[in-house]
Structure 1
Amino acid sequence: MILNSEQIQVRDAVRAFAQAELWPHAARWDKAHHFPKEAHRGLAALGAYGICVPDEFGGADLGYLTLALVIEEIAAGDGGTSTVISVTNCPVNAILLRYGTPQQKKNWLTPLARGDMLGAFCLTEPHVGSDASALKTTATKGADGWVINGVKQFITSGKNGDVAIVIAVTDKGAGKKGMSAFVVPTRTPGYNADRLEDKLGQHSSDTAQVTFDNCCIPFDQLIGAEGEGYRIALSALEGGRIGIAAQSIGMARSAFEVAVGYAKDRQSFGTAIINHQAVGFRLADCATQIEAARQLTWHAASLRDAGLPCLKEAAMAKLFASEMAEQVCSAAIQTLGGYGYVSDFPVERIYRDVRVCQIYEG
Structure 2
Amino acid sequence: MKIGLPKETTNQETRVALTPANISRLMKKPIQVLVEAGAGVAAGYPDQEYVDAGATLITDRAALLRDADIITVVNAKDEQLDELRAHTREGQLVIGMMDPLVQYQTLADAAESGMTAVALELIPRITRAQSMDVLSSMATIAGYKAVIQAAQYAPRLFPMMMTAAGTLKPCRAFVMGVGVAGLQACATAKRLGAVVEAYDIRPAAREQILSVGAKPVELDIEAENTETKGGYATEQSDDFIRRQQQAMANVLAQQDVVITTAAIPGRKAPVLVTKAMVEAMKPGSVIVDLAAETGGNCELTQAGEEVVHNGVTILGPKNIAGTAATHASQMYGTNLENLLKLLLDDQGQLQLDFEDEIVKDTVVSHGGALVNTRLRELAGMPELAKPEAEAASTETNAGTETE
How high is the TM-score relative to the length of structure 1?
A: 0.29
More helix by share: 1
How high is the TM-score relative to the length of structure 2?
A: 0.27
Q: Larger Cα Rg: Structure 1 or Structure 2?
A: 2
